[in-house]
Amino acid sequence: MAASLKQQIDDLLGKLNPGAIFGVDIGAHSIKVCELSGGPGKFKVERFGIFVLSEAAIIEDEIQKPGEVSDGLLEAIKQSGIKSKSACLGLYGPNTMTKRLSVPEGSREEVEDHVMWESEQYITFGADESQIDFHLLGENEGGGNDALVAAAKNELIEKYSEILKEARLNVRMIDLNVIAVSNVFEEFAAKNLEDYAQGSLLIDFGAQSTKIIVYKRGGPIFTKELAIGGGLITEEIQRQMGVSYEEAEDLKTSSELPEEILNIINTQLDQQLSEVRKNINFYVTQGSAEKVSYCFVTGGSSLLPGLVEKLSALTAMEVERMNIFDSVKINERKLGQNIEQLSAISAVVIGLAMRKVT
């Protein structure tokens, strides 16, 4: 029997009542877990763990090495010292979707019916085979309400949830990574959110995907996930230099880059940022009157040399790295990590850890 819409809402985005959980981000490059204390304006990272996966353990959203991923999750949890069994799992990839819709005034049931009917037109992987949720953002200029709709394919949910169940964790909530990034941005930009909410571009540069989010009026109004990222640069270094994937990754992240490695990075960045620009331009040419004035980047690949400068030239905007630890407290001695790097790689998992359930 298909789950009711209320059950779908509880499962996918959860309720906003207190109840601590920890975030689980199973990415293509690494698995990250994070537990926070406090609340909006007072969040603090209490525990954090990371496990770096081997080459091709996950491709897009397909788990190629389930044993390694399961063991990696257990190792990340052990490293972090997290004792809780209640997790918020983040999902991403071609079998997920977000869409901002204008919905008419009406009862909760009427709004639900409208959202379900509208959503079916946008879910390319099949509405009947998906979990769907929405969250009302508030009134729009047309007199109705804006709703943020999120969907994920059942098969994807089951596949990633099984990894957590094998680790004897309770999947209390499932969220989408693009929404987690938006939530982190709201915390990071809280003091200036009124200005930034006029139109900000958020880009999360990951290992195998780059997420583009246009944030305005309380939430995303446009999201796009591209199958490009730092992993492709690593593969190109591996191919041209004739080294292993691990050696190529070390060369890419070295503090002193040889000129030939820097040339590979620059060439690949130019190609990938060209794709980013095409998608930003696509959004602009859709007749949108939504002005975007600010640009913030996060993700491990956002630390690649030259990325911020190249992106600034392409967008004609000042580009700023989203340092979440300007807003979220952290015990640097306890975590013992490069804080700039930790900030870049942890945006998604911190956003997941911010969620609350009953």
The three-state DSSP-derived secondary structure of 9-30 is: HHHHCCCCCCCCCEEEEECCCE
Among 274, 270, 275, 269, CA closest to 304: 269
Q: Considering its fold, how many domains does the chain have in total?
A: 1
CATH number at residue 206: 3.30.420.40
Domain enclosing residue 153, as ranges: 5-236+261-353
In a domain, 312, yes or no: yes
Q: How confident is the model at residue 108 (pLDDT cuts 50, 70, 90)?
A: confident
- Better-predicted residue by pLDDT, 255 or 306: 306
User: What would the pLDDT profile of 4-62 be if each residue is shown by its tens digit?
Assistant: 544 454 445 443 333 479 999 999 999 999 999 999 999 999 999 999 999 999 998 89
In a domain, 336, yes or no: yes
In a domain, 176, yes or no: yes
Residue 77: half-sphere exposure toward Cβ, Cα within 13 Å: 21
Question: Which position has the token pair 């989010």?
Answer: 213
User: What would the pLDDT profile of 195-231 be if each residue is shown by its tens digit?
Assistant: 998 899 999 999 999 999 999 888 898 999 999 999 9
Given this model, what pLDDT does residue 30 score?
Answer: 96
Given this model, what pLDDT does residue 136 score?
Answer: 87
CA dihedral 271, 180, 118, 107 (to 10 degrees): -160
In a domain, 254, yes or no: no
In a domain, 241, yes or no: no
Indicate the range of 123-127, 157-161, 206-210, 279-283 predicted with least confidence: 279-283
- Better-predicted residue by pLDDT, 136 or 263: 263
In a domain, 244, yes or no: no
Residue 74, pLDDT > 50, answer yes
Residue 336, pLDDT > 90, answer no
Residue 2, pLDDT > 90, answer no
In a domain, 252, yes or no: no
In a domain, 248, yes or no: no
User: What would the pLDDT profile of 307-321 be if each residue is shown by its tens digit?
Assistant: 999 999 999 999 999
Within 189-331, residue ranges assigned H as helices are 193-196, 230-241, 245-252, 259-285, 307-315
